[in-house]
Chain A
């Protein structure tokens, strides 16, 4: 349904109704901005990347053939636009590494987080996501929030589906490790256990 609606508005824009484009902007602005923000890690640059994404997409709209979803096409422009900003500013992609090999008790982590108030839980998850590298954070957002398939994420990032599968497995491990570190007994106490 959403895809059909996108096509409807795209046709309207191509037929000269510029205002129809604002519906597409409204629909995808949060996701595009979030993707850019996860990569460039600051709001000003993310805003610029997100705006450039929509302007570029508008001017290339006649080249969009509809083989993939409009959203996937848009995310791809945003993803590479944000990486370009990092390159221009010569900022390196920060990569997080897995430091310890010990088994992480996932049940305990989930159990503890489930007992938190929703606000505290989101705060911890948000902080943990911010510790991920730009590319890992992008994968997490596309996979867990947008629930894109491996093939769709592959279209956005140009990584192969297998690479994405392996990276997502590692990201899960990293997240578990970060969460484990955050959920020290003191933290649990300070956030208040039910």
Chain B
């Protein structure tokens, strides 16, 4: 008897809740969604642009190579180049720079600075790779 009543109540609730119906959202609901969707679609289409373009990298690398080569040939006139160290020496012992700033940099310091710059570049590369992975969709 109780089970019958429970079933009847179930049927009654189905009918009554359907009578109540659904809540209605605002009139502009669909338009707002379509506007949001097309707005996001536009931003999604924008292609990825790296901070430094390929041309930029080419320019930086060629300038760096050019500076290194100039230093090598500049030094060649004066000293015999038998190892890499004169290259580093030449960077930090340019007479014109010395004349202006009168800075004396020891060999150890110059190697340390070079090492620091090298590791800074490695770090920038690794951090960039890590961030790219983090924001990858």
Task: Let me know if B6 and A172 touch, CB within 8 A.
Answer: yes
CB distance from B9 to the nearest CB of A (A): 5
Residues of B within 8 A of A58 (CB): 33, 37
Question: Chain B interface residue count: which class?
Answer: 20 to 34
Residues of A within 8 A of B96 (CB): none
Is residue A134 contacting chain B, with contact meaning CB distance below 8 A?
A: no
Task: Let me know if A172 and B40 touch, CB within 8 A.
Answer: no
Residues of A within 8 A of B24 (CB): 30, 33
Residues of B within 8 A of A153 (CB): none
CB distance from A111 to the nearest CB of B (A): 10
Tell me the nearest residue of chain B to A23, going by C-beta. B30
CB interface residues, B 101-122, toward A, < 8 Å: none
Answer whether A55 and B40 are a contact pair too, CB < 8 Å, given A110-B8, A175-B13. Answer: yes
Contact flags A130-161 to B (C-beta < 8 A → 1, else 0): 00000000001100110100000000000000
Docked Cα-Cα span, A129 to B29, in Å, equals 25
Task: Let me know if A110 and B12 touch, CB within 8 A.
Answer: yes
Q: Which of B12, B20, B32 contacts A126 (CB 8 A)?
A: B20
Q: Is the interface of A mostly helix, strand, loop or mixed?
A: helix
Is residue A107 contacting chain B, with contact meaning CB distance below 8 A?
A: yes
CB interface residues, A 38-68, toward B, < 8 Å: 43, 46-47, 50-51, 54-55, 58-59
CB distance from B7 to the nearest CB of A (A): 10
CB interface residues, B 50-101, toward A, < 8 Å: none
Q: Can you report 27 residue pairs joining A to B where beta carbons are below 8 Å apart?
A: A21-B37, A22-B33, A25-B33, A33-B24, A33-B29, A47-B25, A50-B29, A51-B36, A55-B33, A58-B37, A59-B40, A106-B5, A113-B16, A114-B12, A121-B19, A122-B16, A122-B19, A122-B20, A122-B21, A125-B16, A129-B20, A140-B17, A141-B17, A145-B22, A147-B14, A172-B13, A176-B9
Using a CB–CB cutoff of 8 Å, the interface residues on chain B facing chain A are 5-6, 8-10, 12-14, 16-26, 29-30, 32-34, 36-38, 40-41
Using a CB–CB cutoff of 8 Å, the interface residues on chain A facing chain B are 18-19, 21-22, 25-26, 29-31, 33-34, 37, 43, 46-47, 50-51, 54-55, 58-59, 106-107, 109-110, 113-114, 118, 121-122, 125-126, 129, 140-141, 144-145, 147, 172, 175-176
